Amino acid sequence: MSNQTTVTEFLLLRVSDVRELQILHFVVFLVIYLAALVGNLLIITAVALNHHLHTPLYFFLMNLSILDLGSISVTLPKSMLNSLMNTRLISYSGCVAQVFFFLFLGSADFAVLTIMAYDRYVAICQPLHYERVMNRGACVQMAASAWISGVLYSALHTVSTFSISFCGGNTVDQFFCDVPQLLKLACSNSYLSETRVIFFSVVLLLSWFVLIIVSYVQIFRAVLRIPSKQGRHKAFSTCLPHLTVISLLFFTAFFAYLKPLSSTTSGLDLVVDVFYSMVPPVLNPIIYSMRNKEMKSALRNLILWRLFTKNERSIFL
């Protein structure tokens, strides 16, 4: 075991030592970031400006877009800057901040997805009580609880992670400060460190996952009892985007945190981290807008309105 040293900075994973490939890495990440930025900002703006979308479903969708936008903004800009500046450095405090905000926004994301499953359950299984159960006050309280629980969970997780001593150097084998990669640098037994830091995460994720599964079992039982084919199709179409997003996020996160720690970085580690940190913020707006007629209509009206006002302004100038 290496002697304990005081770590003041970390070295993130470098894609390549070739300058051209570093620039290519910057461009690819920039395109991904801009796609997530534009997609989520369009969802947020469309929901905020369109009164027809001022319903619980779209209120939670707007919260999800805000969280996705924040989550990808925590990781990608620093990686892009490092590639552009030909460096790997991130300060100790910067790494702590990155872990805290990534865990905060990610856990709140899971909580909002769970609330959205409950919203669909009430809408389909208890339609007569929907307005009473999912009133404005209840929606605000549920959204606030998701954000607050994310802060508390992240604070606990971050303190637990950085309370360990680092003896394995300061090289993080990932493009951002990821908890499983940081645990590889721990002085104590990696299995004990992993158990102590991740156990609560697994319990929390499983709790959310069970609640979602129970909700959708009830939803599918109710949908199958709908006599008309058109009614069943409409009910399934409102649930399919949510199920797709949940599957993508939950399974990649489970795999990333439950796979055994190893001393070397594999291509699979990189692929999994890319999936659960970058792909959902990019795909979520596409998934929800493509399968939802109201959202597509709102986005179309928003884009046409922006083009009209821009053309009108240019005429007057």
* Mean pLDDT of the 107-117 span: 91
Residue 182 has pLDDT above 90, yes or no: no
pLDDT of residue 13: 84
Over the Cα atoms of the chain, what is R_g?
22
pLDDT of residue 1: 43
Of 22-36, 81-95, 160-174, the poorest mean pLDDT is in: 160-174
Secondary structure class of 171 (helix, strand, coil): strand
Distance from C-alpha of 193 to C-alpha of 216, rounded to nearest angstrom: 35
Distance from C-alpha of 299 to C-alpha of 190, rounded to nearest angstrom: 48
The amino acid occupying position 10 is F
* Mean pLDDT of the 42-58 span: 86
* Paired strand residues for 11: 89, 171
Calculate the average pLDDT of the chain.
Answer: 81
Structure tokens at 15: 């894609």
pLDDT of residue 202: 75
pLDDT of residue 2: 46
- Residues 5-46: tens digit of each pLDDT: 577 889 998 877 888 888 998 999 999 999 999 989 988 988
* Mean pLDDT of the 56-75 span: 93
Distance from C-alpha of 110 to C-alpha of 59, rounded to nearest angstrom: 16
* CA 87 distance to own-chain centroid: 27
pLDDT of residue 67: 95
* Mean pLDDT of the 158-187 span: 82
pLDDT of residue 102: 93
pLDDT of residue 316: 44
Residues 189-201, buried b or exposed e (16+ Cβ, 10 A)?
Answer: ebeebbebbbeeb
Parallel/antiparallel/unpaired status of strands 89-91 and 9-11: antiparallel
| Structural domains of the chain, with CATH | 9-316 (1.20.1070.10)
pLDDT of residue 232: 73
pTM: 0.85
pLDDT of residue 267: 64
Distance from C-alpha of 266 to C-alpha of 254, rounded to nearest angstrom: 17
Q: Which run of H or E residues covers position 90?
A: strand 89-91
pLDDT of residue 244: 77
Residue 314 has pLDDT above 80, yes or no: no
